[in-house]
């Protein structure tokens, strides 16, 4: 399962909503038998990296979104959370 575009409005940040949403996605994936959840975030999204790592995601590889990204050394970090067999 791929998690895309998890976002909480600035006014609502700091209330644990992103953590709750992330837990819900993991529970959803487990309940439906998925073994892995993957996502990507940019190198500048430090709070997102901490959130995902705190939920059990591990950073795997990195990539560059474009030639300009390569020239600027702007990396995209790829994360995965292994859920087991979903049972």
Grade residue 87 by pLDDT with cuts at 50, 70 and 90.
very low
Number of domains in the chain: 1
In a domain, 63, yes or no: yes
pLDDT of residue 42: 95
pLDDT tens per residue across span 19-60: 999 999 999 999 999 999 999 999 999 999 999 999 999 999
The CATH number linked to 69 is: 3.40.630.30
In a domain, 69, yes or no: yes
CB 36 within 8 A of CB 81: yes
Using CA atoms, how far apart are residues 87 and 85, in angstroms rounded to an integer? 6
pLDDT of residue 69: 87
Strand ranges across the sheet with 36-42: 36-42, 76-82, 58-63
CB 48 within 8 A of CB 41: yes
CB 55 within 8 A of CB 47: no
In a domain, 49, yes or no: yes
Residue range of the domain that includes 57: 10-82
CA-nearest of 40, 17, 19, 38 to 29 is 38
């Amino acid at each position: 399962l791929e998690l895309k575009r998890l976002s909480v409005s600035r006014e609502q940040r700091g209330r644990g909503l992103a953590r709750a949403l992330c837990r819900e996605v993991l529970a959803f994936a487990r309940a439906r038998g998925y073994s892995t959840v993957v996502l990507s975030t940019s190198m500048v999204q430090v709070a997102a990296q901490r959130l995902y790592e705190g939920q059990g995601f591990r950073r795997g590889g990195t990539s560059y979104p474009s030639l300009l990204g390569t020239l600027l050394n702007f990396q995209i970090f790829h994360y995965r959370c292994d859920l087991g067999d979903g049972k």
